[in-house]
Chain A
Amino acid sequence: MLSRVADSLYWMSRYIERAENIARLLDVNLQLLLDFEAMDDDKLKEHWEPVIRAAGEEELFNELYDQADSQSVTDFLTFNRENPSSVISCMFAARENARMIRDQISTEMWQCLNHAYLFLKSNNAKKVWEDGPYEFYKQILDYSHLFQGMTDSTFTHTEGYYFMQVGKYLERAEKTSRILDIKYHILLPSVEDVGGAIDAVQWGALLRSCSAFEAYHSIYVTSVNPLKVSDFLIFNSNFPRSILFSVRHLDSNLRKISGSNPGFYSNDVERVSGRLVSDMTYSNIDDAFKSGLHEYLGMLQERFVEIGEAMFANYMFHTRPDMATEIASQQQQQQQQ
């Protein structure tokens, strides 16, 4: 497979996953506000800032907007084309990657992304959002799920598919860790100090942001407990959006690309991903809290970056050179004198 194609498959898949996560995050947080009485500006700010942080676009937001409120944040993260992590930017980027490799993916996959693109590009999109953000975000989630389903059932499960899975799970692990990290920003230093109704609502929202509310309650009958929520989202081995689950699937798909056996590695990306799997397999939530949840999540995020970089170095290093800076230069010539 061409390196460029692998690169596009990987990013197409990552962008779709990213769009889905941002859409869900926004939807849940908009709904969460309904549970509270009217909030003043500061409270609203407190509510939305972590969301921007979870999307990883704090600086850009401050450049573009004066104030963090429902209007500005949702606009920034949904429709703003200047924000590379907005829902619309991600969907467009996914579709653009698909377009670059249209001959390599199934017609169904292409039509799904193209349909999403045409929807978002139309005036209708904004109207649907104004009529009810829930319907809008639901539509985005549907596109993502439709796309994943079509990928599963119409795209050959060979190398290209594995690259897509790697992209998806890496993005998912990354986003789940960031969404969980939001709570750290809301929480006080000591976990035991918090409790109460509002907090339970917040933790519930967190689970919903990861589509984990129902799955969580099928395991833990008790009310929402911060320790258990963290445990569930980080270490549950069967829930498909938990970090450990994502990391394991990431790792196994990497191995399918190279054909190397578990317990061994054939390149650097397998080495760093395998190491992360075993580190996580042999840790539990107490270890994570011991080092501090935020610190632990920060460590995970660094490892995700490491995997992404190794991925690039190993499979995509042949990929397009940075043409803007590495343009072919003319050899200097001597004047004949």
Chain B
Amino acid sequence: MFFDKYSTDGFFDEMFDETGAVRPHYRAILERLSTLTEDKYELKRQAVDLSFLRQGITFTVYGDDEGTEKIFPFDLMPRIIPQSEWEFLERGLTQRIQALNMFLKDVYSEQRIIKEGIIPASYILSGKHFRREFMNVDIPRDIYIHICGTDLIRDEKGNYLVLEDNARSPSGVSYLLENRQAMKRAFPTFFPKAGVRPVENYSEELLNTLQYVAPNGKEDPVCVLLTPGHFNSAYFEHCFLARQMGIEIVEGSDLVVRDFKVYMRTTQGLQQVDVIYRRIDDDFIDPSVFRPDSMLGVPGLVNALRAGNVNIANAIGTGIADDKLIYAFVPDMIRFYMSEEPILGQVETFFASEEKDFTYIMENLDQLVVKSANEAGGYGMLIGPKASKKEVEDFRAMIKADPRNFIAQPPIMLSRHPTWAKGDFEGRHVDLRPYILCGEKTSIVPGGLTRVALNKGSLVVNSSQGGGSKDTWVLYSDE
């Protein structure tokens, strides 16, 4: 019997409360599981893995020549969010993304937030992803972040906290959709009875969002998805989304710029493109403006944007909004632009560039989580309590050399979730990445990508570093 030996070990557990009783919204799944044997569960699990591999639902691991394609490990045990909790998250995330978009509009035009002393100019101007080239460029409908993948965690009391706003080109949404498919196949009779809100209309909403932000409100705009190419780790996802939306997936070399307009090269000649959903970083998007050695981008694209003949999602320069220093100011942004109190909490942040914080960081380095201000994917990160002496000292030197590039946060004991580990369920740390779309309205697909650190005790959930994923169920009700 599953869960006989399960222990929450004092962490906040998504499924069981502190007394060890199952939470109401997990009752149904627990009942379903109790009818399964270990062998049957294992069979279902293997079938799902195999179908992922067959379908080529893989990601690429860099620096590994053989077997470069791996499946993103999937854990069958779903993460479940009751309706009231989700409504709260929706409100909080909507508020946050609106504030971030107002911030970007402001910081690339009037800069009121600097002039009124809310954020020091130096934090913005020193941001690696602040694009001076994009000052005063008009963006259709003033939406900068169209697609946001905000990372949420829960602390030891179960409070949701924002960990990161991924405002550049967040990935992972295809796993969310494929995971749901896998769950339906694995539990064909149970699933319809579980009262789970569907996630399948994400692609449609995404297409609506892209069409809504076409230049000059153009009707029936031609949208394309710009990918760095099939060697990119998220190429599977790019294909998946393009196909679901029914739009072309293009590489940089498929596009040309003529007369400050963007065209794609087709067998019938050149066809004009209005909206580009780009999955390629700012640095590589236009070699005539950013990195000249980029072979992935489209020379002249930025000029076409300046001329207002094309729009791209997300806009160039949104990276300043997910700079980890600027992150600390998001609550202030919400107060400044919206005159509201932030709904969602976030993690306390210390700046290595501030003298007072710097001293504190240096004295408590082995007790803190240190992050590089502009990296994503769990790279450039130190988890003080788990790091070796040498790692701590290496970081100390790096922080001293470039304080602007580092922040520190107290470690948060992420909530845990029962996860299959060789024959039984054990608690593993999880986070949650909901996907937020900003078009005519802000919409959040009911669910998200729950990432799980598969290694016992690990807090790192990134796919490149031993993470897996779970299907995330948002229920119609609270049980």
Q: Do any CB atoms of chain A lie under 8 A from CB atoms of chain B in the complex?
A: yes
Chain A interface residues (CB < 8 Å from chain B): 1-4, 6, 96, 99-100, 102-104, 107, 110-111, 114-115, 118, 159, 163, 257, 315, 318-321, 323, 327-328, 330
Give which listed residue, B55, B253, B268, B270, contacts A4 with CB less than 8 A: B253
| B56, B253, B264, B267 interface centre (most CB from chain A within 10 Å) | B267
Given the known inter-chain contacts A102-B239, A330-B292, please indicate yes or no for A3 contacting B249, CB distance below 8 A: no
Q: Is B230 an interface residue (CB 8 A)?
A: yes
Q: Which of B207-253 contact A (CB under 8 A)?
A: 229-230, 235-236, 238-240, 242-243, 248-251, 253
**Interface CB pairs A-B, < 8 A, 13:** A2-B265, A3-B265, A4-B250, A4-B251, A102-B230, A103-B238, A103-B240, A110-B56, A111-B54, A318-B265, A318-B266, A320-B253, A328-B299
Across the interface, name the chain A residue whose C-beta is closest to B54: A111
- Alpha-carbon distance between A283 and B94 when the two chains are bound, in angstroms: 74
Q: Enumerate B350-387 residues with CB–CB distance to A below 8 Å.
A: none
Which residues B52-67 have CB closer than 8 A to chain A?
53-56
CA gap between A100 and B254 in the complex, in Å: 13
The residue in chain B whose Cβ has the minimal distance to the Cβ of A331 is B288
Task: Specify which chain B residues have a CB less than 8 angstroms from the CB of A320 in the assembled complex.
Answer: 251, 253-254
Docked-complex contact A3 and B230, CB < 8 angstroms: no
Report whether A114 and B230 are in contact in the complex, using a CB–CB cutoff of 8 Å.
no
Q: Is B265's CB under 8 angstroms from A103's CB?
A: no
Select which of A111, A319, A328 is within 8 A of B288 by beta carbon.
Answer: A328
**CB-defined contacts of A111 to chain B, threshold 8 Å:** 54-56
Chain A residue nearest to B295 in the complex (CB): A323
The answer to whether B287 has its CB under 8 Å from any CB of chain A is yes
Given A102-B239, A318-B256; 12 other pairs, CB 8 A cutoff: A1-B267, A2-B254, A3-B266, A6-B267, A104-B249, A111-B54, A115-B54, A315-B267, A319-B265, A327-B293, A328-B287, A328-B292
Option from A4, A104, A107, A163 in Cβ contact (under 8 Å) with B254 = A4
- Which residue of the partner chain A has the closest CB to B238? A103
Range for the number of chain B residues in contact with chain A: 20 to 34
Given known A-B contacts A115-B54, A320-B251, A159 and B239 have beta carbons under 8 A apart: no
* Residues on the A chain within 8 Å of B238, using CB: 103
B227 to chain A: closest CB distance in Å? 10
Min CB–CB distance A11 → chain B (angstroms):
14
Say yes or no: B242 contacts A3, CB within 8 Å.
no
Contacts of A2 in B (CB 8 A): 248, 250, 254, 264-267
Contact across chains for B56 and A99 when beta carbons are under 8 A apart: yes
- Chain B residue nearest to A115 (CB atoms) is B54
Q: Are B253 and A323 in touch, CB under 8 angstroms?
A: yes
Note all chain A residues with C-beta closer than 8 A to B292: 328, 330
Residues from chain A with a CB closer than 8 A to the CB of B236 are 102
B56 pairs with A102, CB closer than 8 A: yes
CA distance A104 to B227 in the complex (A): 14
Report B-chain residues with C-beta under 8 Å of the C-beta of A96: 230
By beta carbon, the residue of chain B nearest A118 is: B53
The reply to whether B242 and A103 form a contact with Cβ atoms under 8 Å apart is yes
- In whole angstroms, how far apart are the Cα atoms of A249 and B256 in the complex? 34
Taken residue by residue from 293 to 322, chain B's Cβ proximity to chain A (1 for < 8 Å, 0 otherwise) reads as: 101000100000000000000000000000
CB distance from B397 to the nearest CB of A (A): 35
**Distance (Å) between the CB of B249 and the closest chain A CB?**
5
A102 partner residues in chain B, CB cutoff 8 A: 56, 230, 236, 239
Residues of A within 8 A of B293 (CB): 327
Expressed in whole angstroms, the minimum distance between the Cβ of A333 and any Cβ of chain B is: 12
Complex CA gap A328/B300 in Å reads: 11
Give Cα distance in the complex from A102 to B93, angstroms: 34
Inside 8 A of B56's CB, which chain A residues have their CB? 99, 102, 110-111, 114
* CB neighbours of B53 from chain A (8 A): 118
Partner of B295, one of A115, A257, A327: A327
Q: CA of A104 to CA of B266 in the docked complex: distance in angstroms?
A: 14
Contacts of B268 in A (CB 8 A): 1
Chain A residues lying within 8 Å of B235, measured Cβ to Cβ, are 99
Distance A6 CA – B254 CA, assembled complex (angstroms):
12
Q: B250-276 toward A: CB 8 Å interface, digit per residue (1/0)? A: 110110100000001111101000000
Contacts of B299 in A (CB 8 A): 328
Q: A165–B398 Cα gap in the complex (Å)?
A: 58
Residue of B nearest to A330 (CB): B292
The 10 closest A-B pairs by CB, nearest first: A318-B265, A103-B239, A320-B253, A103-B243, A100-B230, A102-B239, A3-B265, A328-B287, A323-B295, A315-B267
Residues 409-443 of chain B, each 1 if its beta carbon lies under 8 Å from chain A, else 0: 00000000000000000000000000000000000
Report the separation of the CA atoms of residues A8 and B171 in the bound assembly, to the nearest whole angstrom. 26
A12 to chain B, nearest CB (A): 13
Interface 1/0 per residue, B51-91 and A, CB below 8 Å: 00111100000000000000000000000000000000000
* Residue of chain B at shortest CB distance from A102: B239
Q: Are B251 and A3 in contact (CB under 8 A)?
A: no
Contacts of A330 in B (CB 8 A): 292
B288 contacts which chain A residues (CB < 8 A)?
A: 328
Cβ-defined contact, B265 with A107, below 8 A: no
Give the contacts of B122-141 with A (CB-CB under 8 A). Answer: none
Using known A-B contacts A2-B248, A4-B251, A328-B287, determine if residue A114 contacts B266 with beta carbons closer than 8 Å: no
Q: How far is the CB of A238 from chain B (nearest CB, A)?
A: 31
Distance, CA A87 to CA B264, complexed state (A): 34
With both beta carbons as reference points, the residue of chain B lying nearest to A160 in the complex is identified as B267
